[in-house]
Amino acid sequence: MLCFYYLHQKVERVIGGVFEKYGRFIARHPWKTVVFIGIINAALGVGLLKIDPESGIHQYVPIGSTASKDQKNVETLFKINTTVNFYVQSLPDLGQFGEVIIELKNGDNILNISNWRHIKELTAYIQNTSIVDSSGNIYTFADLCARSHGDCVVDGSFLLDNKFILDMNSNNITYPIYNLSAQQTIVLDRFIGNVNAPNGLIIQATALKLRFNLQSESFDLSRQWEKRFVERMALFENTDITVKYSYSDSLSVELSKNVTGDISVFSVTFTLMIVFACLALMGMNCVDNRYFLGLAGILSTCLAILASFGLVSACGITFVDIVGIMPFLILGIGVDNMFILLSGLADTNSAQDVETRIGKTIRTSGIAITITSITDIVAFCAGAASVFPSVRNFSWYTGCAVLFCYINYLTFYTGVMAINESRVTKQLHWFTCCKTKSHEVLKAEGKSKMFVLFCGGAARQKREEVEGPIEKYPKILLKKAVLSGPTRIVIIILFIGYLGVSAWGARNFREDLDLRNLVSSDSYHYKFYDTNLNYFSQSFFVSFYISSEIDYRQESNVLKIESLLKKAKGDKDIGSTFQLSWLNSYINSHEYDISTKSNFTIGLKSFLALHGNIFVNDVTISGNSIVASRFHVLSTNLKTSSEQASLMVRMRDIAKSSVLPVFVFSPPFVFFEQYVQIVPQTIQTLAIAVSVVFLVTAIFMPLPVLILLVTVSVSMIMVGVIGLMQIWGLTLSSVTMIHIVMCVGFSVDFSAHICHAYAHVPGENRDARVSTALDLAGGPILNGALSSVIGIVVLAFSKSYIFFSFFKVMFIVVVVGAMHAIFLLPVLLSWIGPIYGTPETEPVNDKMKYSETDEEKQNELMNYKQNTIPRLSTASLRSLNKAS
């Protein structure tokens, strides 16, 4: 145990000495420091001119994923002309389209011929939507539509077919499979919603869906038409039907709009933080008043945000939507740093010179914010290595902001503290900077109470004189609670209960991302997506790609392909009766010829050339060789992300088990990848962050008990955060993963502050040190927690899932983290805290005056060295000898 003590003392002398020298340097040059750092921050902020905002759902899709690579492979193997041969199962992506869901306003059965005139009216209205390009050319849907065998492709157009209308009138529509003709079989649950079909025949349905597909060759014009489609649909009116609408990029656009709208509330948060900081620090002492220190703290933080935005933007990192929550987070971190520094400053002796006071403040509180800042920065560095663009870019911006916030507080804000302390030393009024007398002197001179209140003051004699109500009064109750035997037991029991509930919640925490949450509930896309999810099948095509040449004439290869498709259709989430196989259809056709390789290919070309052949995009032929082909199956109605991701993984396993050169792909797989990678990515980030907490704590507080307590506390907080997230209705996704990364850094802040305070305060026993540690760190922790909550409270009213979920997670981590720091850790420290490293400081004479002679200055310097070099107390030596 003795060796740990000496190690701790050596680290304290070396690191503390460096920090103290640095603080003294800043105190000697405060104005130069403030001006220089202000100019640097402003100069870096110029980089905002290069900011590159990027929005869209692709931010939450992992880069370099298997699906992304497969998608590029598909685009290379198969070239599709959507102006001629459009088939949805052949697309390498989700395509471009405008989509509508039609319901009767009274909610009745829509499958009635009397409603068909409204559907025809709507169809004509959409097809008449036109745009004008920069050259003045007019384009209607007919000019930009995707086509198949000469006709525009409108998914659901069979609803207007005479055969379907006749079957509808005679109640003869089979469900879910409907044969429109001998050549055309339709899966109805993708187009007719909220169906009642007790005997396989539809007797009632309340919704219909139509999709107007656009050609991908004219991407920009198609996108322009889509936007015009949304504008016109917003104006569409009908007395009998309700139309909900969307287009291919609606989710990305509405997501960006939702987030951008809520970023504006930062101004409200900024105002609230200024008011809180100033009120918390402003007292009735007109000399030793910290009002301007509160303003300077907010300014330091805002400069850090400006500098980080500018630098990271100048480096070419795109500004993704979720970076919008960063200022709210940094405000909380910055104000927490401010309260810790001011607590350290209040603990110094005002009779000493400014340079000494600032040096001592940075020696103690500077190290405290260094510990928390390093852990925050490294946590975000771990996030910057993520495969999710949203997590990666958020981590770059936020990690840089934390770094600048730390630098600003150790430079800009420390300079402001030195300037303020110099004013206090000169007995100048906080607002007028006029020479001021103390309250006692003014009262003796017979001044009025108002004059004394607003014009009197003096330098503090003890820290309580400058502490605000949140710093002064709660810690009195806290000390009574954590140092009372029965209350300690109650606290431990409550935390055991909390840990049990949190562990239960963490065990049930699931990965999921409801896309409805990404947009505002009053968005047109939300209304469409909600109805689509509830009424219509979310099935999708799954395609198996043979990516190199094989001999399709050999029966063994035909059997292998059939076995592959049979395995796929045997999966519980794949339809057992549906498949699209060009090979089976070719074998059953008159053009089939396996006499020679050349004849096989010639026959296949003739087969594919038949009018309306849906397999025309499924085979790539070069000369007489088939270089690639694909086969399709259809999933069942999968609505949850866990089901979708699980199916993707199982289909890949089936493909890998085949001896054929085959891979499996579906356009939705690109998005499903996040559900597969989110868990390992989150675990990896958490493991790195907790390891860094352990390492940083070991460096700055090399005392085994404190290292253990901080690490266990952070782990407990993270279990609590994850468990309470589940209880509060949140799930694991690429959105909440960002919040969890943020929590790791934030969870260590309060715990590190109380343990660092315990390690550096005097006291003959554990209880005494806990009491003093709460005096030093308890107030700043409460102020920091309250300021963080104030900083995010406006987000509780946000319509954006990103911002509202951030509020939930931030609120949890602040409250849980503060409770660990002011209740659990003090109790544990009072029981098992180290007592062998007590720094014993000589009592300082409050009446000590400034030295004027060289001899007096030399004596004061010797006293300073003696006071600041930690020594073992008699009680500590006895404890060490006994332990040895």
Tens-place pLDDT, residues 451-477: 888 888 888 888 877 877 777 788 888
Residues 777 and 770: their CA atoms lie apart, in Å, by 10
Rounded to the nearest angstrom, the gap between the alpha carbon of residue 397 and the centroid of all alpha carbons in its chain is: 12
Residues 599 and 592: their CA atoms lie apart, in Å, by 9
Contact in structure between 133 and 139 (CB atoms under 8 Å):
yes
Low-confidence ranges of the chain (pLDDT < 70): 1-8, 182, 260-264, 611-612, 836-884
Closest CA to 401 of 304, 485, 335: 304
Residues 416 and 410: their CA atoms lie apart, in Å, by 10
First vs last C-alpha separation in the chain: 7
What pLDDT shows up at residue 703? 83
pLDDT, tens digit (0-9, with 9 covering 90-100), for 379-430: 888 888 888 888 899 999 999 999 999 999 999 999 999 999 999 999 998 8
727 three-class SS: helix
How many other C-beta atoms can be found within 10 angstroms of the C-beta atom of residue 412? 26
DSSP class per residue in 376-438: HHHHHHHHHT-SSHHHHHHHHHHHHHHHHHHHHHHTHHHHHHHHHHHHHHTTB-TTT--B---
The amino acid sitting at 590 is H
Kindly report the pTM of this predicted structure.
Answer: 0.81
For CA atoms 762, 763, 766, 770, the dihedral sign is: negative
**Pairing mode, strands 207-214 and 192-193:** antiparallel
How many other C-beta atoms can be found within 10 angstroms of the C-beta atom of residue 43? 12
For the chain, how big is the Rg over CA atoms in Å? 35
Point out which residues pair with 320 in neighbouring strands: 54
How many other C-beta atoms can be found within 10 angstroms of the C-beta atom of residue 640? 15
Supply 847's token pair. 């009446």
786 three-class SS: helix
For tokens 């043979």, the residue is 546
Residues 198 and 534: their CA atoms lie apart, in Å, by 19
Ramachandran angles phi, psi of 730, nearest 5° = -95, 155
The amino acid sitting at 275 is V
